[in-house]
Amino acid sequence: MFKEVEKISFAQREEKVLKFWDENKIFEKTTEQRENAPRFTFYDGPPFATGLPHYGHILAGTIKDVIPRYKTMKGFNVPRRFGWDCHGLPIESEIEKTQKLSGAASIEAYGIAKFNEDCRRVVLRYTEEWKATVRRMARWVDLDGAYKTMDRPYMESVWWVFKNLHDKGFIYKGFKVMPYSARLGTTLSNFEAGENYKEVDDPSVIVAFPLEDDPEVSLLAWTTTPWTLVSNLALTIGEEVDYVLIEHKADHKRYILAKALLRSVFKEGEYAIVKGVPVDELKGKRYIPLFPHFEDRKEKGAFQILTGNFITLQEGTGIVHTAPAFGEEDFNVCQEAKIDIVCPVDNNGRFTKEVPEFEGKFVKEADKGICKMIKEKGRLLKQGTIRHRYPYCYRSDTPLIYKAVETWFISVEKIKDAMVKNNNEIHWTPEYIKHGRFGNWLENARDWNFSRKRYWGTPIPLWVSDDGDSLVISSVKELEELAGKKFPDIHRHFIDDVVIEKDGKKFRRISEVFDCWFESGSMPYAQKHYPFENETAFTSEFPADFIAEGLDQTRGWFYTLTVLSTALFNKPAFKNVIVNGIILAEDGMKMSKRLQNPPAA
């Protein structure tokens, strides 16, 4: 009476269904049948193709599958195009390891062309494994027609984005203290620097700085980066802080520090307060430099006491050792005082010949030696360790430093209010992220350092002359007309040597490439090669109806999409977003190829 149920396992049944879908092209039919139906637009954020998919990808991929399926069943036409993030530090790091390279000098000796072609050859090595996993999880998405950030049409649209930002006045070259990956030899953006904080033990030292006009009295300054003391050019005190002069009972030495922090530096009974010291009495006083390397800067205003509004009384002494090349607040307060910076650190975080005692040594490895020198000078009051959260490079897993560099920025702070307004138009799930994690990030947005001193990426299309004039190229056609030759590829090794002659001047390209976040943030335009193709299709489908990614993308892809769409069109880039939590590995960390902690998916 009843047909006997086939006795097969769930896994076998799943494979049978997948085979039926493949043989009968069911996914393709769902889109073909709705070709003229109302469009529901979905953007798929591009993963790096340098590693295998893990459970974090599978969770996000499931959400990305469910909503488009539902909207398809409701009668909408829902194109689903996969994408690959092909540029950037992950693939460069792979080649550096394989070829035993380390840093810019070794890569350039190896050859930029050879290095980039190595990157191209291996960047898509795991695409078949990705296809197998996506199929096995029953996700319907167009993998064969996936966009790739390394394809010339995609890169050309990125150029168009940059040109428009430049024409709107959002691009500038600035000299700022930025998070810096010494291992990779490049700056990181502020949001990248927040990706990989670790609890670490660092040195904690309190150093004495004797006053020039009264060497028997010293100001006490605290730091957790002894390596920066070589570059000390000022001390900064708080404008609203109460300071006292105390005498140490054991040796009768006299010190100045914040009254509120006395008990954190000295034990009760170790000292006697001599008197209060007004801030106005200290401001502008000179002190004796700790090291001789930059003593000549005294004639240009260095080694004086400055005031600032960033002094806190949670720890330390209430007096900040100020090295303007290695701290943002240090840089700003010294700029106001017209004290120029000194930066005896190279692009790989090693001391230069300006500090011969530690030349060639990575700065953090010099901490012990510097502390020993300070102790021998009799100016090391206290030495210990402190456990605190410290930023590490999210790609190389090495400690970041903060370093003054000349680099390129987008004036995000100009459009901060517009981004907040556009965010109000987006429907967030969970709702609290809208004005919480994402909204707070927008309200505190900083100018975005988008340039990278790297190799495998979309070159920034900016040519400059010796006298500072610049040309911004917006298309391959424009470059070909100016250069008088064809460019089937626009990676660095194809265009770096191009010299453009115009108005009697010679223009040469700057060496930097775009941060890969700039490329992924350009995805709505670049995946369609807009505005060079598909103009009507793009304008009718922008902003996207739906996107979905993990919580970490509130400071990554969601953010860069919002920055660029606001700057270009004063619109949000998406209308609805679902944010999933982060699946952690067995070690409690986020799953990451770099950490080699995901279980097999």
Angle at 46 between CA 162 and CA 410, to 5 degrees: 25
pLDDT digits (tens, 9 = 90+) for 34-80: 989 999 999 999 888 777 888 888 999 999 999 999 999 999 999 99
Under the banding of pLDDT at 50, 70 and 90, the label for residue 158 is very high
Residue extent(s) of CATH 3.90.740.10 domains in the chain: 197-391
- Burial of residue 182, with CB atoms counted within 10 A of its CB: 0-12 exposed, 13-18 middle, 19 or more buried: buried
What was the pLDDT predicted at 600? 64
Residues 6 or more apart whose Cβ sits within 8 Å of residue 243? 237, 256, 257, 258, 259, 276, 277, 278, 279, 282, 318
Segment 465-490 shows an average pLDDT of 95
Q: Report whether 82 contacts 146 (CB < 8 A).
A: yes
Which pair of structure tokens corresponds to residue 221?
Answer: 């300054």
What was the pLDDT predicted at 596? 66
Q: Pick the more confident residue, 293 or 397.
A: 293
Instruction: Give the separation between CA 145 and CA 163, rounded to whole angstroms.
Output: 27
pLDDT digits (tens, 9 = 90+) for 244-300: 999 998 889 999 999 999 999 998 889 999 999 999 999 999 999 999 999 999 999
- Between the two ends of the chain, the Cα-to-Cα distance in Å is 42
Q: Pick the more confident residue, 303 or 177.
A: 303
Instruction: Give the separation between CA 543 and CA 569, rounded to whole angstroms.
Output: 10
Phi-psi region of 428 (alpha: psi -120 to 50; beta: other; left: phi over 0): beta
Query: Is it the case that residue 414 has pLDDT exceeding 70?
Result: yes
Segment 4-23 shows an average pLDDT of 87
Catalytic residues: 46, 85, 517, 553, 557, 590, 593
Residue 551: strand, helix, or coil:
helix
Q: Report how far apart, in Å, the C-alpha atoms of 482 and of each of 164, 317, 436, 552 are.
A: 19, 60, 48, 42
Q: Report whether 210 contacts 288 (CB < 8 A).
A: yes
Residue extent(s) of CATH 3.40.50.620 domains in the chain: 30-174+405-460+510-601
Which pair of structure tokens corresponds to residue 55?
Answer: 């459970």
pTM: 0.85
What was the pLDDT predicted at 587? 73
Per-residue 3-state assignment (H helix, E strand, C coil) for 191-249: HHHCCCEEEEEEEEEEEEEEECCCCCEEEEEEECCHHHHHHCCEEEEECCCCEEEEEEC
Instruction: Give the separation between CA 54 and CA 282, rounded to whole angstroms.
Output: 58
Element (DSSP H or E) covering residue 376:
helix 367-376
What was the pLDDT predicted at 42? 97
What was the pLDDT predicted at 225? 95
What was the pLDDT predicted at 1? 59
Q: Report whether 86 contacts 155 (CB < 8 A).
A: no
pLDDT digits (tens, 9 = 90+) for 294-349: 999 999 999 999 999 999 898 999 999 999 999 999 999 999 999 999 999 998 89
| DSSP labels, 34-64 | TTTSPB--B--PPPBTTS---HHHHHHHHHH
Residues 6 or more apart whose Cβ sits within 8 Å of residue 496? 112, 459, 509, 511
Which pair of structure tokens corresponds to residue 116?
Answer: 């980039």
Q: Report whether 131 contacts 57 (CB < 8 A).
A: no
Q: pLDDT above 70 covers what percent of the chain?
A: 98
Q: Pick the more confident residue, 594 or 175.
A: 175
CATH of span 197-391: 3.90.740.10
Q: What is the tally of helices (H) and strands (E) in the chain?
A: 22, 24
Under the banding of pLDDT at 50, 70 and 90, the label for residue 195 is confident
Query: Is it the case that residue 175 has pLDDT exceeding 90?
Result: no
| DSSP labels, 510-540 | -S-EE-HHHHHHTHHHHTTTTTTS-HHHHHH
Under the banding of pLDDT at 50, 70 and 90, the label for residue 405 is confident
Query: Is it the case that residue 5 has pLDDT exceeding 80?
Result: no
What was the pLDDT predicted at 496? 96
Q: Report how far apart, in Å, the C-alpha atoms of 388 and of each of 268, 369, 371, 562 are.
A: 26, 22, 20, 32
Under the banding of pLDDT at 50, 70 and 90, the label for residue 183 is confident
Segment 93-109 shows an average pLDDT of 89
Instruction: Give the separation between CA 74 and CA 52, rounded to whole angstroms.
Output: 33
Residue 254: strand, helix, or coil:
strand
Q: Report whether 42 contacts 79 (CB < 8 A).
A: yes
Segment 552-566 shows an average pLDDT of 95
Q: Report whether 409 contacts 172 (CB < 8 A).
A: yes
Sign of the CA dihedral 119, 120, 126, 130? positive
Q: Pick the more confident residue, 575 or 601.
A: 575
pLDDT digits (tens, 9 = 90+) for 128-145: 899 999 999 999 999 999
Other C-beta atoms closer than 10 Å to the C-beta of 401 total 22
Which pair of structure tokens corresponds to residue 436?
Answer: 């919480």
- Burial of residue 237, with CB atoms counted within 10 A of its CB: 0-12 exposed, 13-18 middle, 19 or more buried: buried
Q: Across all residues in the chain, what is the average pLDDT?
A: 92
Q: Report whether 539 contacts 8 (CB < 8 A).
A: no
CATH of span 30-174+405-460+510-601: 3.40.50.620
